[in-house]
Structure 1
Amino acid sequence: MMLEIDVESDDEWDSSTDWSLLVRRAAESAVAESAFPQLARGSRAVELSVRLTGDEEVRALNSEWRGKDKPTNVLSFPMSEAEELASADGDGPELMLGDIVLARGVCEREAAEKAVPVETHATHLLVHGTLHLLGYDHMADDEAADMESREVRALARLGISDPYAVRD
Structure 2
Amino acid sequence: MNLHLDIQCASAEPVPDEDDIRRWVLAALAGRRRSDTEVSLRLVDIAEMTTLNESYRHKTGPTNVLSFPSDLPPELELPLLGDIVICAPVVREEARQQAKALEAHWAHMTVHGTLHLLGYDHIEEAEAEAMEALETDILTALNYPCPYQDNLPKEHADA
State TM-score, norm by structure 2: 0.86
Q: Percent identity, aligned pairs only?
A: 38
**Larger RCO: 1 or 2 (CA < 8 Å, sep 6+):** 1
Q: 2:138 & 2:67 partners in 1: Cα distance?
A: 18
Equivalent positions of 1:78-157 (< 5 A) are: 78-80=69-71, 93-157=77-141
SS at match of 1:71: coil
SS at match of 1:97: strand
CA offsets, 1:96-151, max 9 Å, x none?
11111111111111000122232221110010000000001000010000100010
1:80, distance to aligned residue in structure 2 (A) = 4.7
Q: 1:116 & 1:142 partners in 2: Cα distance?
A: 26
1:163, distance to aligned residue in structure 2 (A) = 1.1
Residue segments in structure 1 that go unaligned for 5+ positions in a row: 85-91
Q: 2:32 & 2:142 partners in 1: Cα distance?
A: 20
Cα RMSD for the two superposed structures: 2.1
1:24, distance to aligned residue in structure 2 (A) = 1.1
Q: 1:129 & 1:73 partners in 2: Cα distance?
A: 10
1:12 maps onto 2:3 in alignment: no
1:157, distance to aligned residue in structure 2 (A) = 1.5
Match of 1:161 in 2: 145
Match of 2:46 in 1: 55
Alignment partner for residue 63 of structure 2, among 72, 81, 85?
72
1:13, distance to aligned residue in structure 2 (A) = 3.0
SS at match of 2:122: coil
Q: Which runs of 4+ in 1 moved over 3 A?
A: none
Q: 1:57 & 1:21 partners in 2: Cα distance?
A: 24
1:21, distance to aligned residue in structure 2 (A) = 1.3
1:23 maps onto 2:14 in alignment: no
SS at match of 2:90: helix
Q: 1:151 & 1:24 partners in 2: Cα distance?
A: 16
1:12, distance to aligned residue in structure 2 (A) = 1.9
SS at match of 1:67: coil
State TM-score, norm by structure 1: 0.82
Equivalent positions of 1:31-46 (< 5 A) are: 31-32=29-30, 37=31, 39=33, 42=34, 44-46=35-37
Residue segments in structure 2 that go unaligned for 5+ positions in a row: 153-159
Q: 2:101 & 2:149 partners in 1: Cα distance?
A: 16
Q: 1:78 & 1:22 partners in 2: Cα distance?
A: 22
Q: 1:78 & 1:11 partners in 2: Cα distance?
A: 22
1:10, distance to aligned residue in structure 2 (A) = 2.6
